Amino acid sequence: ILGQPRSESEIWKELRNRAANMPIYDTHEHLWHEDIRLKKAIDFFLLFSIYTNSDLVTAGMTPEEVQSLQNPEIPLENRWKMFSPYWPYTRTTGYGRCMLIAARDLFGIDDIHKGTYKTLSERITAANQPGWYHTVLKDKANIEISIQDDLLSTSGQKLKLDKRLFKTV
């Protein structure tokens, strides 16, 4: 099973526990401001919007098809049919494994497949609430602070970052 310990020795348990409780400094993020994220239609394919999209292209999906995965006007089932032939080739990449870990640790879904993607999508949609970044970054990941490489600042938009979570580049 993904991410399961190889040993249950006392030293392994202690090392795992200490690592899990160590504060983390996230040095590079491009997260949407919360007010922007809350206005967006969020579903399963948000997981495949950045970095994993390159893996899909490498697996043979066209850039246009990858882009259409982010179109909520296309029914989720149709997007799954486009995506699913390429998922077996991307699920074991570093980015693909991160999506599997996120599905498990954030949404309680042990694997991504035809029988789980709709439930996962519903849970991702339901989680798009105020405070979700705090839940993920602070409560789940124990991230002390994230350095936000804020692309909005280059377009002159006012920064609206939660200073408890983010510092700006």
What's the token pair of residue 14? 């202690």
Q: List pLDDT tens digits, range 101-145.
A: 999 999 999 999 999 999 999 999 999 999 999 999 999 999 999
Query: Residue 85 to residues 42, 61, 79, 91: CA-CA distances in angstroms?
Result: 22, 9, 11, 11
DSSP string for 69-138: TT-TTS-HHHHHHHHTTTHHHHTTSHHHHHHHHHHHHHH--S--STTTHHHHHHHHHHH-STTHHIIIII
Mean pLDDT of 21-32: 86
Amino acid 151: pLDDT? 65
Question: DSSP code of 31?
Answer: P
Question: DSSP code of 140?
Answer: I
pLDDT > 70 in the chain, percent? 91
Higher-pLDDT residue of 158 and 167 is: 167
Amino acid 153: pLDDT? 63
Amino acid 156: pLDDT? 67
Q: Are 121 and 128 in contact (CB under 8 A)?
A: no
Of 122, 106, 87, give the one whose Cα is nearest residue 3: 106
pTM of the predicted model as reported, rounded to 2 decimal places? 0.84
Which positions ≥6 away from 91 have C-beta within 8 Å? 97, 99, 100, 112
Q: Are 95 and 51 in contact (CB under 8 A)?
A: yes
Q: Tokens 């970054």 map to which residue? A: 137
Q: Are 103 and 112 in contact (CB under 8 A)?
A: yes
Quote the mean pLDDT of the chain: 90
The torsion defined by the Cα of 165, 45, 54 and 82, in degrees rounded to 10, comes to 180
Q: List pLDDT tens digits, range 57-84.
A: 999 999 999 999 999 999 999 999 999 9
| Residues written for the chain | 169
